[in-house]
Structure 1
């Protein structure tokens, strides 16, 4: 059975733009997904990247144009300058870890609910009420927002270390069971094609 390790950041606009296409691809190929939220800003510093605010103006300007273009292409609502960005991604990531351990809801829907809250709905994903609403929307008990904080913190840190070791340098990032790597929501079609070719 195919497997995909999915490294993502609840604060990432590109994770938002990925929507739930990964889940569609996994369902098409009978693949399992391991969801691995991580600290994207620390990942940048560990792997030679630069946080958006510190990038050369030319790179910032291109990023701004490209995000708007991609959102329009995908037909997704998008706010280039959301009211609550950047914010602390740890609380939403810890809640996600608790939800993954619980297993009662839809993890793909939860990733999308959290990222959509930031990039389309003008909400602060560090706010407990926002996190609870996202959990409930994805079929989880909202109380998970307040549980397993130590495990959440440990898993969040471990995901970062694992990502660095495995060659991850951005989000979203997808690694197949045979170590084929795909970076960015605009590479989901390539992941789909790769899994299809492997099954033929």
Structure 2
């Protein structure tokens, strides 16, 4: 049975556009997933990337075009200039970490609810009420928003270190533990699917 380490940012539009395809692929191959939210800006800094605010205008213009094209291709609503972006990803990430540790709900649905809230619903995913609503909708106790903050911060930082060690440099990023094979971007999920058929 394969295991996938899934590195992502709760504020990432590309994580949003991945939708539930990772989970569908994992189910097809009886693979398991560990969700590892992290600070993407620090990941860029650590691995030679450039923060969006510092990128050349031509790169940012192309990014907008690609987001628009992919949203249309996937038939997913997407606001190219959401009201609450950039946003602090730490509170929603801590909620994902606490939910994963507790179990009992729809973890994939929780992750997707955060990115959808940011990129399609004009909600502030750093807001406590939004976090509680997402937790509740995914079948978790909303009180997780207030618990385990210290542990959440530790795991959040450790996820960054593990991402760097694993060779991740963006999001979404998928690493198959058994083979070390890496896949960057929601547009590489088909390759991940094909890879899993071989192991």
> TM-score w.r.t. structure 2 length?
0.98
- Shift of residue 88 of structure 1? 0.7
Q: Deviations over 1:14-72 (max 9, x none)?
A: 00000111000000000000110000011001100011121011100000000010011
- Partner residue in 2 for 1:39: 39
**Aligned equivalents of 1:48 and 1:99: distance in 2?**
31
**Aligned equivalents of 1:161 and 1:187: distance in 2?**
23
**Aligned equivalents of 1:121 and 1:115: distance in 2?**
9
- Shift of residue 145 of structure 1? 0.6
Question: What is the 5 A alignment of 1:19-168?
Answer: 19-168=19-168
> TM-score w.r.t. structure 1 length?
0.98
Larger mean Cα displacement after TM superposition, 72-81 or 133-142? 133-142
Helix, strand or coil at the partner of 2:78: coil
Q: Deviations over 1:70-114 (max 9, x none)?
A: 011000000000000001110001111100001111111111000
**Aligned equivalents of 1:52 and 1:64: distance in 2?**
12
Q: Deviations over 1:104-128 (max 9, x none)?
A: 1111111100000000000000000
- Partner residue in 2 for 1:179: 180
- Partner residue in 2 for 1:194: 195
Q: Number of aligned pairs?
A: 198
Structure 1, unaligned runs of 5 or more: none
Runs of 4+ displaced beyond 3 Å: none
**Aligned equivalents of 1:158 and 1:43: distance in 2?**
12
**Aligned equivalents of 1:75 and 1:196: distance in 2?**
27
- Shift of residue 196 of structure 1? 1.4
Helix, strand or coil at the partner of 1:122: coil
Helix, strand or coil at the partner of 1:194: helix
**Aligned equivalents of 2:161 and 2:198: distance in 1?**
31
